[in-house]
Amino acid sequence: MNDSDLSVHGQAALTEGSPYEIPSRKLTMWLFLISDAVTFGAFLYVYGYIRVATPDWKRPFETGSIVNVMIMTFILLTSGLTMLGAVEASKSGHKTKTMRFMAGTVALGLLFTALHVREWFGLFSRNITLSSGLFGQAFFTITGLHLLHVIGGVIALVVVARGYWRDSLTPGHVESTGLYWHFVDLVWMFVVPLVHLTNIGRS
Amino acid sequence: MALARRSENVIKKYLPVYFALLAISAIEVLLAYRNIAMPMLVAMYLALAIFGATLSVMYFMHLADEHRSLFLSLIPAAIFVLLLMNAIWSDSLRLLHMRPFAH
């Protein structure tokens, strides 16, 4: 690097391009998601560990709960689609459309949260709580961590949508938030079969 | 106008993946009500969930469109760490035979 390089290329000549050809914001989000995937993986392994080691495992779910979980799954997958719409609309520079898609995603996220809380209260009414035994501990820890991610995602969507509308944030921010939202969706694909569907009560 | 259509078309483009993910969820529920031994059921669930997650990562999260080096840096490392956690099963099965949590 010499003075002539600097004069020709400016400060950009001092830094190398990303080896992945993506903005650092996006790379950071990917790294966070991978570490978060390992965190969820560890929780699911712990769940599997105590499930295997416990002969009289409680199976509290009935068909009503499973229908509720299926509706929640449908809502979360659909919110992934609206999030894709928001990302693409922001890349195309359509602010109003981006806001509509993001509002739809937030609404679906809130609906998912409400159904999740309803599911929890259904279990509370049957004396299944965080302190009622191994099933309660495992179930509420895993679904609680996931619900925390959903609520965090909804807050992030609102903040990013507000910033994007006011031109303080870019389509890149919308895309990074979208990556996070799809990850929340992805984790749910493991939580439903392993934590809900393997715990349906047999009469 | 063309740009406005673009975002709609992109959603249409991803509809097959969306319906595939819904179908995977429906299959999982159907399996839950079949008389399948638990180890086999868990294996089937994991296979379906991994397939769904792959679709989601590659198409919804656009990893398929990114530079190959990003995929090679992230995914094998994550899979490796997750596979290492399988070391717990021998201890878990030992506990099952000791039945420490049985009432």
Q: What is the average pLDDT across A11-31?
A: 80
Bridge partners of A156? Answer: none
**Domain housing B42:** 2-98
Q: Are A62 and A126 in contact (CB under 8 A)?
A: no
Q: Are A160 and A84 in contact (CB under 8 A)?
A: no
A14: closest CA of chain B, how far (Å): 23
* Chain A residues lying within 8 Å of B1, measured CB to CB: none
In a domain, A15, yes or no: no
In a domain, A7, yes or no: no
Identify the closest residue of chain B to A186 by CA–CA distance: B53
Is B28's CB within 8 Å of A54's CB? no
**Phi-psi domain of A133 (left: phi exceeds 0; alpha: psi -120 through 50; beta: other):** left
ipTM of the complex: 0.87
In a domain, B22, yes or no: yes
CATH number for the domain spanning A116: value is: 1.20.120.80
Q: What is the mean pLDDT of chain B?
A: 86
Round to whole Å and give the CA distance between A130 and A75: 26
pLDDT of residue B3: 47
**Domain housing A110:** 22-199
Q: List, for residues B68-101, the tens digit of each pLDDT value.
A: 999 999 999 999 999 999 888 888 777 777 765 5
Bridge partners of A200? Answer: A61
Is B56's CB within 8 Å of A193's CB? no
Whole-prediction pTM: 0.88
Q: Answer whether residue B33 shows pLDDT above 60.
A: yes
Q: List, for residues A83-101, the tens digit of each pLDDT value.
A: 999 999 999 999 999 999 9
pLDDT of residue B91: 81
Preferred mutation among B10, B13, B29, B57 to probe A, highest tally of A CBs within 10 A: B29
| Count of domains forming chain B | 1
* Chain B residues lying within 8 Å of A20, measured CB to CB: 66-67, 69-70, 73
Identify the closest residue of chain A to B27 by CA–CA distance: A193
